[in-house]
Amino acid sequence: MPGVSGGAAGGRRRSSSSLRGRAKRARRSVEVPGAPAPPPAPHLFSDPAEIEALRGNLLAWYDRCKRDLPWRTLVRGVWVSEIMLQQTQVATVIDYYNRWMQKWPTLQALAQASLEEVNELWAGLGYYSRGKRLQEAARKVVSELAGQMPRTAEDLQKLLPGVGRYTAGAIASISYGQATGVVDGNVIRVLCRLRCIGADSSSPPVIDRLWDMANTLVDRSRPGDFNQALMELGATVCVPKAPLCGECPVKQHCRARRRVSGEGAVPDVEDCGKCVGGCPLCPPATEPWDSSLGVTNFPRKAAKKQPRVVKTATCVLERRGCHGAPEYLIVQRPNSGLLAGLWEFPSLLLAQGLQEEKQQEALADHLQAWMGWPVAAGDLQLIGEVVHIFSHIHQTYVVYSLPLDGDVTLDPASSPSRWVTEEEFHASAVSTAMKKVLGDTWAFPSFPLGSSPQPLSPSTPSSGHRLLRDGTFHVWDHRRAVLR
C-alpha cells in the first residue's frame, strides 16, 4: 500500500509508487552535479558519550596546566590580545599587550589616540593594519555603540572592523559565554589529528567542516574555557613538529595516534574513497600516509605560494644635527597599502631587471623631484642590500647613502617628513626592515672621525662610510653587505 513504511525484514511489500518516490529522492540527494560528498562518520564526532568525555578531559587538563596569560579575564583584553595574536606568537605579544593596555587603559583612551601613536607602539609586531583596525573599531564602539561592545559572535563580526569569524567567536565565548566554537591554526591542527583529516586544511570546504566540528565539541557550560583549552593544547602539546602525544589529555580520542600505534581501525583513503565522489577529508591519493611522519601527517596544507619578488631603492639622507650627532630624514608612507602610515627612508620601487646604474639614476631623479634641488646619481653611495621577508613579499632594499652639508627645503606637496636622531628613529613608527637599513645588524671596522675611510680592498672602489653617533666611521664593502 502506498505510504507503508518498514524494512524488508518486516515482510511488508512496498508499492511501486512508494519505491519510485524513494528512488527519486535518493537521486536528488546523491546526484546533484558538483555537490561535495558528505564526510564519512569516522571523520566526525557523532558519539555523545565520546564528546562529553573529551570535554571533561580537556577542561580538567586546562584547569591544571594553562599558562598564566595577562588577557585571560579582561573583556577588552581578550579582544586586544586576539587581534595581536593573529599570525604572531604568544611570547612576542605579551610585552606589546602590556604596553598597549598601560598606554590606553580604556576604549575611550584608544579612540582618542592618533594613528601615529598606534603605529609607534605596534612597530615591530608586523601586519600593521591590525593595529589600525583595532583603533577604528574602538572609535566605532565609543561613537556609534555608546561604548558597549557587541556581545555575540554575529554582531562582533558584523559591527567591528578587523574582527573576523575566529576573533568574534573567541571574544563571544571567552568574554560573554556564548557557546560558539573557534577555529585557528592550533585548533585546525588538533582537530585534523583527532579525526585524521588530511585534505588541504586551508581549503574552504575543509575549513567549513572544521567549524562545524568546533561548534559540535564546544562545552555549553564553559565555552570560553573549552576554546582556550583547545588552543592551548595546540600551542603547547599538539605542536606542529614533535608533538607530546604521551602528555595529551585527549589522546584516547586521537585517531592519528591510533593509526601510528596500531591500536584500532581508523579511516583510510581506501576506506573513505568508497563514498560517492571520494572522501572530502582524506589526503589525496597522490599524497599517501607517510609512516615516518607519524601523527604529523596531519594536517596537510597546500603548497605555499612563492612570495612576490620586489626590489626597492632606499636612500639614507644624513646630516649633522645641532649638537653634532647625525640625523636622518624619514618620510611617511601612504595611509593605505603595505606598512600604511609608517615612516621610512625615502624609497622608490624599482622595475624588474633594472641595472645598477639605472637604479641609481632613477633614485637620484626621485630624490630631485621630491626635494626640489639637483641630485647627481654619482653622489649616491651604494651601501649594499637588505633582504626582508614579508608573508607574501620577498623584499630587497638596495641601500644608498647621501650625506648633506645642511638642511633641505622639502616640497610641501610631498609626503610628510622630518629629521630624526638615531634614538628618535627607533622611537618612531618605523618597520623592522627600516631598522635593518639603518644598520642595527652592521658590524664593520671603525675609523676615527676626521680620517679618510679606505676601501676594504682595491676591488671595491664603491665602498662607503657612515658617520656614527660615537664619532667614528663605519666602513663597508658594498659587495659583501647583504644583510638579513
- Residues with a catalytic annotation lie at 82
Phi-psi label, residue 294: left if phi above 0, alpha if psi -120 to 50, beta otherwise: left
Paired sense of beta strands 472-476 and 482-483, if any:
unpaired
CA-to-CA distance for 209 and 234, rounded, in angstroms? 18
Q: What is the DSSP letter of 15?
A: P
147 strand-pairing partners: none
Q: Which helix H or strand E contains 50, and what residues bound it?
A: helix 48-65
Residue among 62, 39, 42 at smallest CA distance from 50: 42
Residue among 265, 172, 296, 189 at smallest CA distance from 233: 189
Q: Which residues lie below 8 Å from residue 384, measured CB to CB, with a gap of 6+?
A: 399, 476, 478, 479, 480, 481, 482, 483
CA-to-CA distance for 345 and 324, rounded, in angstroms? 21
Which grid coordinates are listed for 93?
605579544
* Terminal-to-terminal C-alpha distance of the chain: 80
Contact predicate 297/198, CB 8 Å: yes
CA-to-CA distance for 318 and 350, rounded, in angstroms? 22
